[in-house]
Amino acid sequence: MDQNLQIVALAGGVGGAKLADGLARVLPSEQLKIIVNTGDDFEYCGLYICPDIDTMVYTLAGIANPTTGWGRADESWRVHEERIRLGSEAWFRLGDLDLAWHLERTRRKHSGESLEAITTWQTRAFGVKPGVLPMCNEPVQTKVITRGQKILDFQEYFVRLQCEPEVSGFVFHNAETAKPLLAAIEAIRAADLIVICPSNPWVSIGPILAIPGYKEALTGKTIAAVSPIVSGKTIKGPAAKMYQEMGITPSAEAVANTYHELISHFIIDTEDAACANRIKSRWGIMTVDTNTIMRSASDRETLARFVISFALGINR
Amino acid sequence: MDQNLQIVALAGGVGGAKLADGLARVLPSEQLKIIVNTGDDFEYCGLYICPDIDTMVYTLAGIANPTTGWGRADESWRVHEERIRLGSEAWFRLGDLDLAWHLERTRRKHSGESLEAITTWQTRAFGVKPGVLPMCNEPVQTKVITRGQKILDFQEYFVRLQCEPEVSGFVFHNAETAKPLLAAIEAIRAADLIVICPSNPWVSIGPILAIPGYKEALTGKTIAAVSPIVSGKTIKGPAAKMYQEMGITPSAEAVANTYHELISHFIIDTEDAACANRIKSRWGIMTVDTNTIMRSASDRETLARFVISFALGINR
């Protein structure tokens, strides 16, 4: 790839981390910055937990758990099993290896370090080269509004209730007063291409865009999104279910409708090839289909190359 | 033992927990209440840790680590080893099983439960029958003043610096505004005998007595202390070193001098038998010698029976 190419990825959890890993495999580390959702962050048993940042770092470090989609590979559950034995409330499972990092992040947080500084330390400790940037240093909390107007903490909805409640909307607490990282804004300004990874548009990309400054910085940039919805379903996570419950038929087209003001390029799965022209003619977004399902490291790399080539018109 | 006998023990960590365990072995659980020092409590990596309460509960549950004197038997170190591998600051070792309980205590603390309620839950979870009462619900912090007038947090002094610095005094932050547990005061009022376990007079028993209300409730009671100093040394912990550094020759006699306003009975080791008469004639404290070193469960039980018999004049 072009030596001077600067790419910024916006991502949430599993799907986003896979494409970010693909980008990290095809780009020198100094050419890639990844801005990660922190709306899912929460405090649990006193520990400060950043699920999306951890999924990102573990994925880039090659130690993510391939089965669960969260946590680490070769994990053990000695602490968790004892929590259960004691009769603790343990709906959020904490693996032993995962816990080691939660402890250190929390220690640093309590000693006054910013999430940005902590995340930089984290990437080094885990041997991750590209810059991983939390969307902001302030705590922003994604809340899920249910049909019955109950407001749930995201992890309560996502993990404890297994995405069971019907959603009617979302709020991103404190997003309006949070500030985007200066490093993130500078990376966006310097970027030749912004990649919106196949993450949940509502609760992974939504919180990032809700912070004043990101949308403005993104205006006029070349922005390529990869649809997280394939054949009306999501590979992982509740995005399709959320579209449905908000009264929108889940589809790649629905994702295009969500992002249309923002993106210049859209990558959909070959399964959805039929809607490419409709998206193009409706919003003027350059749309193309390819295999977007990343089963292997090689799939991640192939999709990353495809996105860059398509969005920047580079043929290789 | 007498069915109506009510005994209250005051204790800190290891030595205190051993005698409390002896008392628990010879008394029906409803006849024993143990008031435990919480001046060592601290927050570490976001976790709320109560070293003395945990040592007490683990000892009474028969799962204390017999080698280290802290933490649990059959402990594993998967989390700790990963902390080290990541390069975390990990001077306070957290065992996997131990961590499970720290997480649940912290969760309950954050959800607003009092330390008293949490400790009651803890004793049930660990199958401990006698009442274990934290000295207070409010956070009181034992601070060690060093020769150079540096003020150290207790765990910093005790664990991180391995009791290395020379001490010149102690402060118990917030002790003056803390309130003794009502259950503790009621237990003292109803008690036929108060046992001051062989814990550190300065930093285990000292913080309890520093809370307004305990000394008043103890006035006029039959109070028996067991010397934590044998032949000028402590079995475990820095009590003797502290006496030395404060300009007092460490001895059973020095412990009697510390407690003389409070206690009616004093139990010293046979090694120190020679000073029994001096203590008796100087302070009028009934003093007797016996083997106070508890190597086995049976030693704990024997000492517990001895203390009760001696202090209450019961012969059995």
Does residue A204 lie in a domain region? yes
Q: How close does chain B come to A282, measured CA to CA in Å?
A: 50
Nearest to A45 among B76, B103, B126 (CB): B103
Is A125 within a domain? Answer: yes
Distance CA B201, CA B239 (A): 7
Q: Locate tokens 């280290």: which residue?
A: B68
Q: Is B114 exposed, middle or buried (0-12, 13-18, 19+ CB in 10 A)?
A: middle
Of A43, A83, A103, the CB nearest to B88: A103
CB contact under 8 A, B78 and A82: no
Question: Are the beta carbons of B46 and A83 separated by less than 8 Å?
Answer: no
Q: Tell me, yes or no, if the pTM score tops 0.90.
A: yes
Q: How far apart are CA B24 and CA B30, in angstroms?
A: 10
Where would I find the H helices in chain A? 14-26, 51-60, 78-86, 96-110, 115-125, 154-155, 182-190, 206-210, 214-218, 239-245, 252-259, 276-283, 297-312
Conformational region of residue B40, where left means phi above 0, alpha means psi within -120 to 50, and beta covers everything else:
alpha
pLDDT > 70: percent of chain A: 98
Res B235: pLDDT? 83
Do B253 and B121 fall within a single domain?
A: yes
Shortest Cα–Cα distance, A205 to chain B (Å) = 29
Question: Residue B304 domain-assigned?
Answer: yes
User: What's the one-letter identity of residue B216?
Assistant: E
Q: What are phi and psi of B291, to 5 degrees?
A: -75, 120
Q: What would the pLDDT profile of B176-234 be if each residue is shown by its tens digit?
A: 999 999 999 999 999 999 999 999 999 999 999 999 999 999 999 999 999 999 999 99
Q: What is the CATH number of the domain that holds A201?
A: 3.40.50.10680
Identify from A41, A43, A81, A82 which residue to disrupt to test chain B contact, counting B C-beta atoms within 10 A and taking the largest count.
Answer: A82
pLDDT of residue A67: 87
The alpha carbons of chain A give a radius of gyration, in whole angstroms, of 19
Q: Does B78 contact A76 at a Cβ distance shorter than 8 Å?
A: yes
Cβ–Cβ below 8 Å for B88 and A78? no
CA angle B64, B68, B70 (to 5 degrees): 50
Taking only the tens place, the pLDDT of each residue in A271-304 is: 999 999 999 999 999 999 999 999 999 999 999 9
Position B24 in a domain:
yes
| In a shared domain, residues B85 and B207 | yes
**Identity of residue A286:** M
Do B126 and B157 lie in one domain? The reply is: no
Cα separation of A36 and A41, whole Å? 11
Residue owning tokens 């041997």: A127
Boundaries of domain holding A161: 141-172
Answer whether B221's CB lies under 8 Å from B191's CB: yes
Contacts for A246 with CB less than 8 Å, ≥ 6 apart: A167, A168, A169
Phi/psi for A234 (5° steps) reads -105, 145
- Collapsed DSSP state (helix, strand, coil) of residue B36: strand
Q: How confident is the model at residue A148 (pLDDT cuts 50, 70, 90)?
A: confident
Q: Does residue B127 form part of some domain?
A: yes
Cβ contacts of B139 within 8 Å, gap of 6 or more: B38, B41, B174
Instruction: Give the domain-ending residue among A172, A192, A220.
Output: A172
Query: Does B178 lie in the same domain as B164?
Result: no
Residue of A nearest to B45 (CA): A107
- The rounded Cα B197 to chain-centroid distance in angstroms is 7
Least Cα separation, residue B92 to chain A (angstroms)? 12
Distance CA B63, CA B61 (A): 6
Give A49's contacts in chain B (Cβ within 8 Å): none
pLDDT tens sequence across A189-207? 999 999 999 999 999 999 9
Query: Hey, are the CB atoms on B88 and A107 less than 8 Å from each other?
Result: yes
Q: B51 to each of A291, B17, B105, B111, how far by Cα in Å? A: 56, 12, 12, 21
In a domain, B1, yes or no: no
Nearest to B55 by CA among B270, B199, B243, B160: B199
Verify whether the Cβ–Cβ distance A125 to B87 is below 8 Å. yes
> Distance between CA A76 and CA A82 in Å, rounded?
12
> In 3D, which of A223, A224, A222, A258 has the Cα closest to residue A240?
A258
Q: Is residue B296 part of a domain?
A: yes
Q: Is the complex ipTM higher than 0.90?
A: yes
Minimal Cα distance from B74: which residue of A?
A78
Q: What is chain A's length?
A: 316
Whether residues A156 and A293 fall in one domain:
no
> What would the two tokens of residue A171 be?
């709020």
For residue B148, name the pLDDT band (cuts at 50, 70, 90).
confident
Question: How near does any CA of chain B get to the CA of A96, in Å?
Answer: 5
| A:B CB pairs within 8 Å | 103
Q: What pLDDT digit, counting tens, does each position of B55-78 carry?
A: 999 999 999 998 888 899 999 999
Count how many domains chain B has: 2
Residues of B whose CB is below 8 A from A110: 43, 45-46
Asked if the Cβ–Cβ distance from A79 to B104 is below 8 Å, we say no
Cβ atoms of B280 and B287 within 8 Å: the answer is yes
DSSP state of A64: B
Residue ending a domain, among B121, B153, B171, is B171
Q: Across the strands, what pairs with B265?
A: B224, B286
Q: What is the pLDDT of residues A122-141, one digit of tens each?
A: 999 999 999 999 999 999 99
Q: Give the mean model confidence (pLDDT) for residues A81-99.
A: 96
| A44 vs A91: CA distance, rounded Å | 10
**Both B54 and B161 in a single domain?**
no
Neighbour-count burial of B94, counting CB atoms closer than 10 A to its CB (0-12 exposed, 13-18 middle, 19+ buried): buried
The reply to whether A180 falls in a domain is yes
In this structure, the answer to whether residues B112 and B53 fall within a common structural domain is yes
Residues A167 and A244 reside in one and the same domain: no
Query: Closest Cα to residue B248, out of B235, B261, B260, B257?
Result: B257
* pLDDT of B3 higher than 80: no
A155-171 tens-digit pLDDT: 999 999 999 999 999 99
Q: Say whether both A83 and A151 belong to one domain.
A: no
- Residue B195 structure tokens: 């046992």
Spatial CB neighbours of A52, under 8 Å, sequence gap ≥ 6: A11, A12, A13, A16, A17, A36, A37, A38, A40, A204
Of A121, A150, A172, the residue at which a domain comes to its end is A172
Mutate to test the interface with A, among B57, B89, B99 (most CBs of A within 10 A): B99
Residue pLDDT, tens place only, B224-254? 999 999 999 998 889 999 999 999 999 999 9
What is the residue-averaged pLDDT of chain B? Answer: 96
**Co-location of B233 and B159 in the same domain:** no
Q: Are residues A155 and A97 in the same domain?
A: no
* Cβ pair B100:A86 closer than 8 A: yes
- How far apart CA B43 and CA B41 sit, in angstroms, is 7
- Is A116 in the same domain as A163? no
- Best probe of the A interface among B82, B83, B160, by most A CBs < 10 A, is B82
The helix (run of H) or strand (run of E) holding residue B170 is strand B167-173
- CB-based contact B83 A100, cutoff 8 Å: yes
User: What are the two backbone dihedrals, phi and then psi, of residue A174, each rounded to the nearest 5 degrees?
Assistant: 70, 5
Output the six-digit token pair for A89: 């409330």
